Structure 1
């Protein structure tokens, strides 16, 4: 059994290839060739959450086990910790163990990249990132790699964190600036990512008519990063209907029913790109996307 640390896991999961792998996995799931139950949320002491996410296709099975502990940054620990085991589906033989937080960050950003490629009226436009943590960084990198994004604005409630992420963007060759208020930046940005752990809205709009928003930070029914009036002004696409019906607080607190009011990304993949927006893509995560990462990273080791 081989263990892959964060760096080696990242090297196995380039964003563009992972976005393609997610699209292929969604197609397989629609054909019944890839399956996954809804993930298990189990409460931990101190307000943390244990997430359990199994999935399988005919060649590969995965199980990701990660914890989300809000008190960890104050302890000098990452917010997310965990691992993902990748197995040969026929024999149960372990093909390797990947770093769980790295899988989560990269497959979430790759999913947003896939959604932007599919749904953004102007995918070549400037980017606003709200948040400056691991997911914000991954999304910035994914948009740079997959869309060629050249200009980015970063907002965080901690200005030093926003400046650090802007400096990272400049190191990638981007024109980047930390901003004290996301509002004015919205007037100049066609692409928006919200990647915070906030339970109350951090994005209040108004959005441009050609805006695409990927809202990825809120993963519980009582969490919302995007103000309800902004959500209601958008065409809404979701990663999965069932997941967002249970955990998509941005939508639920805005009064939307994901089954009635939203389009699954799997359906949108085959439709023409919208000519205008705004479009909101809400993602809460699903084990199928972890399966895509496992297939890309170690699927060749199944040997069939």
Structure 2
């Protein structure tokens, strides 16, 4: 007997409505607030390998009022097919009543909370906030970091390095639409001496940065989230460790940060973003690397903000644009 899909559940927000209730500055502020909230509980995420090379991620978290679970698939084989690499939802519950309150678009949450965490780190650790900003990788995370750093940090000049020319040009056009200067560059390493801000947003299938960054650089690296993945060369990571400062997004990164683990660094001794917010600061000189592997706490922060701003969002039945997220 054929199954007829039901209509969209009440409280379900599509990609556009999900993005609308997660403004960049407000989301970065919510992440900062969450990191200092002692009621927050974030179990380790479960990653289930799928037969065709994909993965199923199950990521729960809660505080004293809100519980959420992110359930998404990551299917690298979808790249170039028109199907999104990440698909799924974030389901948000009221702790007191157990009621489901919202269903948010999983890829949109993933893109925006990742870039918002980088924005928060840059607020505290970047010495030069004007740029130029070098974005390596022109996929969804590249777009999210462009918007977060332009709209949240005030960047006015953007350079884009990507192996796909069409994607790089599209990101440049988006930067122009935001009112900032932008250009493509052929060699990311050659651009490093000119860019105090760098966002590395690739699928982390291979190393994309090898040359050392400039002494005042802030680097956000978000593509690698397993010990086997890396987008930064070991020498790059060791240079920052020796001459500057490395911060990881959460304690979980200590066993997930492939860039750092493959460089032979003792990741367990590195400060987290929470440590930075609690008073630890970067040294007065030297580059800073913010290594992000993703954490369900960021999703909980997005869910908390959406609970405040999203309950009155646009009606859920309207068509959504293609989901905008990659790892």
**1 CA distance for matches of 2:71 and 2:31?**
19
**1 CA distance for matches of 2:284 and 2:27?**
26
Find the partner of 1:11 among 20, 34, 48.
Answer: 20
Equivalent residue for 2:247? 237
TM-score, length of structure 2 as denominator length: 0.88
CA shift, 1:76, in A, is 1.8
Query: Is residue 23 of structure 1 aligned with residue 29 of structure 2?
Result: no
**1 CA distance for matches of 2:149 and 2:310?**
29
Equivalent residue for 2:265? 256
Contact 2:21 2:310 (C-alpha < 8 Å) held by counterparts: no
Equivalent residue for 1:61? 67
Contact 2:159 2:182 (C-alpha < 8 Å) held by counterparts: yes
Structure 1 counterpart SS, 2:36? helix
Structure 2 counterpart SS, 1:45? coil
Query: Is residue 266 of structure 1 aligned with residue 265 of structure 2?
Result: no
Unaligned stretches of 5+ in structure 1? none
Unaligned stretches of 5+ in structure 2? 1-9, 312-327
Contact 1:53 1:65 (C-alpha < 8 Å) held by counterparts: yes
Contact 1:95 1:301 (C-alpha < 8 Å) held by counterparts: no
Contact 2:212 2:239 (C-alpha < 8 Å) held by counterparts: no
Equivalent residue for 2:5? none
Query: Is residue 219 of structure 1 aligned with residue 225 of structure 2?
Result: yes
TM-score, length of structure 1 as denominator length: 0.94
Query: Is residue 108 of structure 1 aligned with residue 114 of structure 2?
Result: yes
Structure 2 counterpart SS, 1:277? coil
**2 CA distance for matches of 1:267 and 1:24?**
13
- Structure 1 residues 187 and 83: CA distance shift in structure 2, 3 A: same
CA shift, 1:275, in A, is 3.1
Written as runs of structure 1 = structure 2, the 5 A alignment for 1:84-95 is 84-95=90-101
Find the partner of 2:152 among 146, 155, 178.
Answer: 146
**2 CA distance for matches of 1:9 and 1:212?**
29
**1 CA distance for matches of 2:253 and 2:43?**
14
Contact 2:18 2:310 (C-alpha < 8 Å) held by counterparts: no
Equivalent residue for 2:201? 195
**2 CA distance for matches of 1:182 and 1:272?**
28
**2 CA distance for matches of 1:268 and 1:46?**
40
Residues 211-255 of structure 1 deviation map (CA, whole Å, 9 limit, x = unaligned): 0100001111100001111111111100112x2122110111011
Structure 2 counterpart SS, 1:83? strand
**2 CA distance for matches of 1:121 and 1:300?**
32
Equivalent residue for 1:97? 103
Equivalent residue for 1:209? 215
Find the partner of 2:51 among 45, 50, 64.
Answer: 45
Q: Which consecutive segments of 4 or more residues in structure 1 shift more than 6 A?
A: none
Structure 1 counterpart SS, 2:167? helix
Structure 2 counterpart SS, 1:142? helix
Written as runs of structure 1 = structure 2, the 5 A alignment for 1:267-286 is 267-269=275-277, 270-272=279-281, 274-286=283-295
